[in-house]
Structure 1
Amino acid sequence: MASEKDNFFYSGPKFFEPFDWNNERHRVSAAASLVNGVYVSEEDYQNNRGPNEALARPWWDFFHFRLVQYLMEDNSIFGAVYEFKHPSSTSHYSIHKAPRCVIAFRGTRLKLGSLQTDIRADIRIFKNEITVTSRFQRAVQTVHNMVTKFGALNIWLAGHSLGSAMAMLIGKNLAKSGVNLKAFLFNPPFSFNPFVSSNDENLKHFLRVKSFITAGLTLFLKDNDKISASHDDFLAVSSWIPYLFVNPVDPFSSGYIGYFKRRKLMEKIGARKFEELATQNSLSNLMFGNTETEPFQVLPSAQLTINSSSSASCGMLSAHGLCQWWSKDVILHGIEYRYK
């Protein structure tokens, strides 16, 4: 029996009607729904749901998209390409802010059929090795093809969890060549963080100490050429401002709150140079001798959106769940961090 959460008409954002592309909340709900369409497509595929049982299509039909292609690895759907279809009537809402194409990536699916493949990709992400996988290479090639076809200004990247990490890396690589894609990254993994982000003075002290340790190890373990190259890459990406959606009690994505907060703290006490070194490197990478690979979670700039609702979850899903981002009652707090 299909889960109710897969059914758009039961758990989707159908209350955003009439849909307005000028409304930021509506655009966020559309991006999250298209990512969920990948999850539900994989459920349809793995459970052999026939045409009369499949549940994925409404997750993109509602927003007037059509499915162009699926991205697959090891007999598992991990991504999808959608193209916007101009509705026959636009009297209810404006469509000038609608993307022509959205490339969406799902996160880890802890079920048979894709579990082994997804866990392997998760490990690759945290070891900074995902770029050598066939999954990532297929995704990169698809994004390049769509950029060539539609133009960078007409494309969105979207992803959840593991999928947002892939979208982030693709976006960063393109930004280094001067191509900035709009990106909606839901619950992007930073690292497992058991600490709840807060204004606690002990946390502030911990963040400052961590910055000095990271900067010190960088100077000790890296030669000047590597530090300079890392800084050049960092500057090249600084004009790209992806949208990050995090929950303060999500142990996987909440680290971004502390990441950007730490930068402000260090600038405030006059330690900007130390923080620049710390921001461009990963303490875990340095401690384990990996000085060659740029940490996947490093971002110079971002529009950080925090779920500040009293409840950290929606329904039965945890704070790492995707459906919170289209919830009618979600309270979002946005902060832009722009590297200068």
Structure 2
Amino acid sequence: MASEREIFSLSGPLHLTAIDWRNTDYRRSIAASLVQSVYILERDRQQIRQGPNALAPPWWEFFHFRLIQVLVDNEDQSYFGAIYEYKFPNSHFHYKTMHGIQSQNQNQNPPKYVIAFRGTIAKKGNRSQDFKLDLRLIRNNLHNCSRFHIGFQAVQNIVQNHGASDIWLAGHSLGSSIALLIGRDMVKMGIHLEAYLFNPPFTSLPIEKITKNAKLKHGIRIAHSVLTAGLAGALNNHKPKALHKSDSFTLLSSWVPYLFVNPSDPICAEYIGYFEHREKMVAIGAGEIGRIATQNSIRNIIANATGKDQTEPSHLIPSAFVTINLSPSPDFKRAHGIHQWWKPDIQCNYKMYQFR
């Protein structure tokens, strides 16, 4: 029995009948819908819903996309990603002026291709493999899984065959971490892809959820930054070649992915404080400490010092266009869910953070 959330005519963004591709709210809603379609592709596979019984197609066809490839996990054969190609309706497209914040590029076109990745499905048939990948994410080892390698190869193929312009990455939760890793690696190759990351996991101390007291949070963050910067400096002095993230981090700073976070979601809420605190450190004259702390995690510093791991903390990014959902979220399911991001009445706060 299909749930209401899987049926586009009941739960999809039906209000998007005339799309203004220059409008960030519309682009966000469409990117989220394409991520949702990956979830439903996997449910269709499990439920053997095919042909007219399949529920996934309306989630991309409504926006004039077509499915050109499904990405399959080698371990459990589940569908974890998909590639969509945009098909202009009637060979042309009409823009319509809409209200809402405009995107960074005022003359943006529809994406030629979107590569979308779903998150964890905590149901029989998926939970075993998905939970293993969640554990890899926590351990900063997601880059060694087959989903990352399959996804990265798929993105490389699209870029090589069609160019890098107007290609989107999109993902939710675990899928946003995969999209983030791919986006980071593409930047290191000189390619900047537009990325829509919904509820991206922040795998570090969740200071944002420890207390609601603003002064206490600020104090904890300062102490944490001083400790992180101190440990990073000590390791850098002790092992000169062990910690050279600065050049890599600066290289990534020109890439500005879109992050969509909910302050009631403990999985992604820390991104709010992560970026805000960096600005506060500059304001109090401790910008250098904040700069060092923002590109290092204590866990990775310790791992590097003991020779266990030489990877960069994948969740730490220098720049982002952050959208915060200010609408009430009564429970974790709704705070972390993908459906919130295409609601017509969503109340958001927007801010761009640029690492300098």
Segments of 5+ residues of structure 2 without an aligned counterpart are 97-106
Match in the other structure for 1:295: 313
Aligned pair 1:329/2:341, yes or no? no
User: Which digits, 9 at most, give the CA deviation of each residue in 1:253-288, with x for residues without a partner?
Assistant: 001011111111111121222222211111233345
Deviation, 1:154, is 1.8
Task: For 2:228 and 2:309, locate their aligned partners in 1 and report how far apart those are by CA, in whole Å.
Answer: 12
SS of 1:52's equivalent in the other structure is: helix
What SS does the aligned partner of 1:152 have?
coil
Which residue is equivalent to 1:21?
A: 21
Over 6 Å off, 4+ runs = none
Q: Distance in 2 between matches of 1:175 and 1:31?
A: 21
Deviations 1:283-312 (A, max 9, x none): 233345556221011101000110012x12
Per-residue deviation at 1:19? Answer: 2.2
Q: Residue 194 of structure 1: CA displacement?
A: 6.7
In the alignment, what sits opposite 2:80? 78
Instruction: Name the SS of the counterpart of 1:224 in structure 2.
Output: coil
2:196 is matched with which residue?
A: 184
Match of 1:218 among 232, 247, 265: 232
Alignment of 1:279-318 (within 5 A): 279-287=294-302, 289=306, 292-309=310-327, 311-312=328-329, 317-318=333-334
SS of residue in 1 equivalent to 2:48: coil
Partner residue in 1 for 2:115: 103
Distance in 1 separating the partners of 2:57 and 2:270: 34
8 Å Cα contact 1:313/1:324 also seen in 2:
no
In the superposition, the TM-score normalised over structure 2's length comes to 0.90
What is the identity percentage for the equivalent residue pairs of Structure 1 and Structure 2? 45
Residue 34 of structure 1 corresponds to which residue in structure 2? Answer: 34
What amino acid does structure 2 have at the position aligned with 1:72? V
Q: Does 1:53 align with 2:53?
A: yes
Alignment pair present for 1:209 and 2:237? no
CA–CA separation in structure 1 for the residues paired with 2:91 and 2:19: 12
Deviations 1:182-231 (A, max 9, x none): 0000000003727438671111111111000111111223423333x211
Q: In 1, distance between residues paired with 2:309 and 2:223?
A: 20
The unaligned stretches of length 5 or more in structure 1 are: none
Greater displacement, 300-309 / 13-22: 13-22
CA distance in 2, matches of 1:135, 1:96: 30
How many pairs are equivalent? Answer: 337
Provide the rounded CA distance (Å) in 2 between the counterparts of 1:226 and 1:268.
Answer: 30
Partner of 2:264: 249
Instruction: Tell me if 1:232 matches 2:250.
Output: no
DSSP-derived class of the 1:241 partner: coil
Partner-residue secondary structure (3-state), 2:266: coil
Decide whether the 8 Å contact of 2:119 with 2:174 is kept in 1.
yes
Q: Is residue 221–residue 291 contact of structure 1 (8 Å, CA) maintained in 2? A: no
What corresponds to 2:168 in structure 1? 156
Which of 130, 139, 158 does residue 142 from structure 2 map onto?
130
* Distance in 1, Cα, partners of 2:22 & 2:65: 17
- Cα distance, 1:327 vs structure 2: 0.4
Q: Is the 8 A contact 2:117 2:171 kept in 1?
A: yes
